[in-house]
Amino acid sequence: MALAQDVVHFLREEALRRFLKYVQVHTTSDEDSGKHPSSQRQLERAKLLKGELVELGLQEVEVDEFSYVYARLPASPGAGQTPVSFLAHLDTSPAVSGEGVKPLLREKYDGGPLRFPDDPELVVDPKDCPELKAHVGDTLITASGKTLLGADDKAGIAEIMAGLAALKRYPQLQHPELRICFTPDEEIGEGTAQIRLEKLGKVGYTFDGSIQGELEDECFDACSAKLKFTGLSVHPGMAKNKMINAAAIAARFVSLLPEWATPEHTEKREGFFHLTRMSGNESEADLQFIVRDFERSKNGEKVVLLERLRDFLLARYPGLKIQLDVKEQYHNMKEALDTRPEVVEMARKAIEMAGIPLHRNAIRGGTDGAKLSFMGLPTPNLFAGGVLFHSKKEWIGVSSLQKAGEVFVHLCHLWAEQR
The domain 222-330 is classified under which CATH number: 3.30.70.360, 3.40.50.720, 1.20.210.10, 3.40.1130.10? Answer: 3.30.70.360
Question: Half-sphere exposure (CA, 13 Å, Cβ side) for 85?
Answer: 29
Nearest to 58 by CA among 156, 155, 179: 179
Written as one letter, the residue type at 409 is V
Residue 292's alpha-carbon distances to 41, 222, 337, 356, in angstroms, are 30, 5, 19, 31
To the nearest 5 percent, what fractions of the chain are helix, strand and coil?
A: 35, 25, 40
pTM of the shown model: 0.86
Question: What single DSSP character describes residue 74?
Answer: P
Q: Which of 31, 186, 217, 282 is the catalytic position?
A: 186
Label the pairing between strands 395-397 and 140-142: antiparallel
pLDDT (tens digit, 9 = 90+) per residue, 331-354? 899 999 999 999 999 999 999 999
- In the set 91, 187, 218, 282, the catalytic residue is 91
Q: How far apart are CA 57 and CA 70, in angstroms?
A: 13
| Burial track 88-118 (b if 16+ CB lie within 10 A, e otherwise) | bbbbbbbebbbeebebbebeebeeeebebee
254: left (phi over 0), alpha (psi -120 to 50) or beta: alpha
Residue 345 CB contacts under 8 Å (≥ 6 apart), including other chains? none
Q: Beta 84-89 vs 203-209: how paired, if at all? A: parallel
Distance, CA of 222 to CA of 300 (rounded, Å): 10
Q: What is the pLDDT of residue 330?
A: 85
d(CA 304, CA 241): 30
For every residue of 75-141, DSSP letters joined together read PPTT--S--EEEEEES-B-TTS--TT---EEE-S--SS-EEETTEEEEEE-TTT-GGGGGGTTSPEE
DSSP state of 221: E
CATH architecture of 5-219+332-416: 3-Layer(aba) Sandwich (3.40)
Q: How far apart are CA 337 and CA 327, in angstroms?
A: 23
Q: Confirm whether 152 is a catalytic residue.
A: no
Question: 341-353 and 398-416 helices cross at what angle (nearest 10)?
Answer: 130
Distances (CA, A) of 396 to 123, 154, 219, 384: 15, 11, 22, 9
Res. 276: pLDDT tops 90: yes
pLDDT digits (tens, 9 = 90+) for 50-104: 999 999 999 999 999 999 999 999 999 999 889 999 999 999 999 999 999 999 9
Residues 6+ apart with CB under 8 A from 175: 73, 75, 76, 79, 167, 412, 413, 415, 416
Q: Cis peptide before 152, with omega less than 30 degrees from 0?
A: no
For the stretch 205-246, pLDDT in tens is: 999 999 999 999 999 999 999 999 999 999 999 999 999 999
Ordered by start, the domain boundaries in the chain are: 5-219+332-416, 222-330
Q: Report CA 23 to chain centroid distance, whole Å.
A: 15
What's the whole-number average pLDDT of the chain?
95
- The interaxial angle of helices 151-169 and 5-22, nearest 10 deg, is 140
Q: Is residue 229 within 8 Å of residue 316, measured between CB atoms?
A: no
| Contact in structure between 46 and 154 (CB atoms under 8 Å) | no
Is a pLDDT exceeding 90 seen at residue 364?
Answer: no
Task: Encode burial over 343-368: b for 16+ CB neighbours within 10 A, e otherwise.
Answer: bbebbebbbebbebeeeebbbbbbbb
Residue 384, pLDDT score = 97
Task: Kindly give, in sequence order, each residue whose CB lies less than 8 Å from that of residue 24, ignoring residues fewer than 6 positions away.
Answer: 101, 102, 103
Give catalytic status of residue 91 as yes or no.
yes
Q: What is the pLDDT of residues 26-51, one digit of tens each?
A: 999 998 899 999 999 999 999 999 99
Q: What is the pLDDT of residues 171-200, one digit of tens each?
A: 999 999 999 999 999 998 899 999 999 999
